Structure 1
């Protein structure tokens, strides 16, 4: 083996993802609202990019625009369109400067139904769509609520201890740190910390500052003047209440059936998480990315343009900059900005086309669901959709991530339509796991309090409906929906009675 240096010439092949292709792939996985944040960052970096609202009039900066189609197209028609088909469509020609409208909403009333988002396309609403946050009133946090009460009830050095204790109360209203640790941290006697906590436990909401569920319920029972020895014994044995051991509880509490039923009813009226009435972030409304509506014998599939920002290339500014004196570095930078802006516009257009194609195929394969409901949801995989529209499975996976579809039956995540198959009992077509879950939920909802359905009984009833499913699968689906076993449901109904 020679150790002398030498030069070798080798030829090899490798797959390299360009930054433009990486950007296009990343855009596919983003929802419309996430796209808005991404575009704001791009506009800040690229001086040739600017956003335009639907109510902006045409001007010298507006590039050439043309419609994708005059009206809503059904799924079959959309799939027959050759434009934008296949993954090769991501390699767009940057010299083409036309930008398509993003949906049929630009020329029609929209498919949003009662959501009222379609008005944004005609200038009836602000360019960012309706401001849902404006409907939410500012809520006082639990910490602020407790601190305000502590300021009026506690003074001197104890106010510092109270502030520290309140800081350790979680959103449910419980103290999450042992009092001994707090006393050591503040360098004060444990008895003093306990005394301050006792004051905090008198604050609103009743039960706040408790260290356990039993203490929280005991505080509420004391506030209601119901904390007698019998109720105290009941609260001290919450594990028996959870197991429904009424006979044993009656012996421990020394009460009869009527008193026990009254105590359990009282206990069920208490709030196990009193802190949740305050604070916490306001629930964020889920905004659909796609609208589906029935149109004659077909379906209309539309991108929600109300949440999709418009991006234009400011060619007047580009002409102004390029006509002036500039060195080689400035000229190269300006060319890069133009190429990046062109690619971003094309990538956004391609993203919309790809989403439409995937959503259209979902509607085509799951038409029975849109017509008749969840019981008719068919098993479907990402590969089935990918093969039908001649795209890669990973592309379909990105398109269906974090995106929601609105139709007459409600709001659904695109991933909802991809479920595993359950073999039919009569040897017919396989059914969706979601359809089986829906059947299980309906059967349990209709069961009589004195005739609770066991998993074995559910198996037989499902088989009569055409679902060939094992008992362990019934149990798995039942637990995934948060439904207890037959024993747990029997105890819950007994407590509720």
Structure 2
């Protein structure tokens, strides 16, 4: 075998992830609010980007041109001198129209008080006592549910008071609204709330000692321990369910409020569904013409290189945002086409749908559809849903079968069966599976139990009434 050095010339093709392509993919995945923040960052980084006021002209809708449908991967080179020249010649002068904006009261809406603020406000109107500072310490250590995770001994050591003073402070906290805060366990929490039940039965405090049996549905064991009829135990259990096991959760904490801004809005107008891509939160971008003089400089200068680099980055950003809008529109149009029956008649008519179906419909790869729909919401006449809600899997039959069933449809049928059952003799999971099979929805008993848990419906023992 002969060894040696040599030069070979060969051609290969491979995919290179350019920075521009990475940016386009990133923009496609962003939601409306995330895109708005991303654009704000780019406005700070790129001096050639500027926001533009929306044109006063009403432009007619036109079909996308070949230029608009060019693949994202293609490099977009622009003769910027001709670009600025054309912009000046075609520019239409408009007088600025000043619209008097009505006063809005949104910024003046006060935030809901937190549990800490609510309790401290009550403590500060209490009579001054030695236990008040300790009570403030206790309130500051309550968890989000309103429970006290530390012991009285720890409180006494941390505040340098006696154990009796710590007990007095805890008793003071436990009288505050909402009742149940400051409890050290669930039984104590529910016991503190008993005064909320007018004329509660004398057996109710004793029932709270058997919360584990009550949660497991072992009513017979409780009836035997309390020496009362089982139907009486069930009546007491109904009273316990009126109490709040987590009284602190009724108060908001910092960052608890999360708003959903739909990326696409679908409206039905005169029997036709209209699709609107919600880009109102994203500023309209344009190229700052102040830098045009830099393009007249001699090629190769640092200033011209900088301006050309920023111009290309700005143009690619604008193009990527527009490409995102077109992709969202195409995906939404395909979803409306597939799920028209759902939009008109409700959840029972939700059709099985996959990413591949939409990808084939609009002529893109599945990954593009996945990125375009990730973490985005769509507002429909039926409510606001995540995009992934419409990609419902099919059970049993092929997805193109008109009678195919989605998991959401089976859950709805399962809920209907349970709501119509005899409460004294509720259906078992196997019986529910048999009844669904009779409706041409063949699933296993384990799947029934899984869907029942997802719906928050108790098992047979938890639904039985005596």
1:474-485 superposed matches below 5 A: 474-485=448-459
From 436, 443, 449, give the equivalent of 2:417.
443
1:386-397 superposed matches below 5 A: 386-397=359-370
* Match status 1:457 vs 2:449: no
Structure 1 equivalent of residue 276 of structure 2: 302
Structure 1 equivalent of residue 30 of structure 2: 30
The 1-side partners of 2:58 and 2:66 are apart by 17
Whether contact under 8 Å (1:381, 1:419) holds in the other structure is yes
The 2-side partners of 1:34 and 1:309 are apart by 12
* Match status 1:349 vs 2:328: no
The 1-side partners of 2:7 and 2:134 are apart by 75
Q: Which has the higher contact order (CA 8 A, sep 6+)?
A: 1
Structure 2 equivalent of residue 380 of structure 1: 353
TM-score (norm 2): 0.81
Whether contact under 8 Å (2:24, 2:72) holds in the other structure is no
TM-score (norm 1): 0.77
Structure 2 equivalent of residue 331 of structure 1: 304
The 1-side partners of 2:288 and 2:38 are apart by 19
The 1-side partners of 2:458 and 2:69 are apart by 47
Instruction: Identify if the C-alpha distance between structure 1 residues 258 and 367 changes in structure 2 by more than 3 Å, giving closer, same or farther.
Output: closer
The 2-side partners of 1:207 and 1:391 are apart by 56
Q: CA deviation digits over 1:32-81, x for unaligned, max 9? A: 11111111111111222223454xx66xxxxxx995726xxxxxxx8x98
Q: CA deviation digits over 1:265-288, x for unaligned, max 9? A: 443332222222323356333222
From 345, 359, 369, give the equivalent of 2:342.
369
Instruction: Identify if the C-alpha distance between structure 1 residues 81 and 313 changes in structure 2 by more than 3 Å, giving closer, same or farther.
Output: closer
Unaligned runs of 5+ in 1: 59-64, 71-77, 99-121
Unaligned runs of 5+ in 2: 84-96
Whether contact under 8 Å (2:294, 2:303) holds in the other structure is no
Whether contact under 8 Å (2:21, 2:72) holds in the other structure is no
Structure 1 equivalent of residue 51 of structure 2: 51
Give the RMSD, CA atoms, in angstroms: 4.0
From 400, 403, 423, give the equivalent of 2:396.
423
Instruction: Identify if the C-alpha distance between structure 1 residues 402 and 157 changes in structure 2 by more than 3 Å, giving closer, same or farther.
Output: same
Does 226-235 or 452-461 show the bigger shift? Answer: 226-235
Whether contact under 8 Å (2:50, 2:286) holds in the other structure is yes
The 2-side partners of 1:416 and 1:81 are apart by 32
Structure 2 equivalent of residue 360 of structure 1: 333
From 281, 286, 311, give the equivalent of 2:260.
286
The 2-side partners of 1:485 and 1:395 are apart by 42
1:266-281 superposed matches below 5 A: 266-280=239-253, 281=255
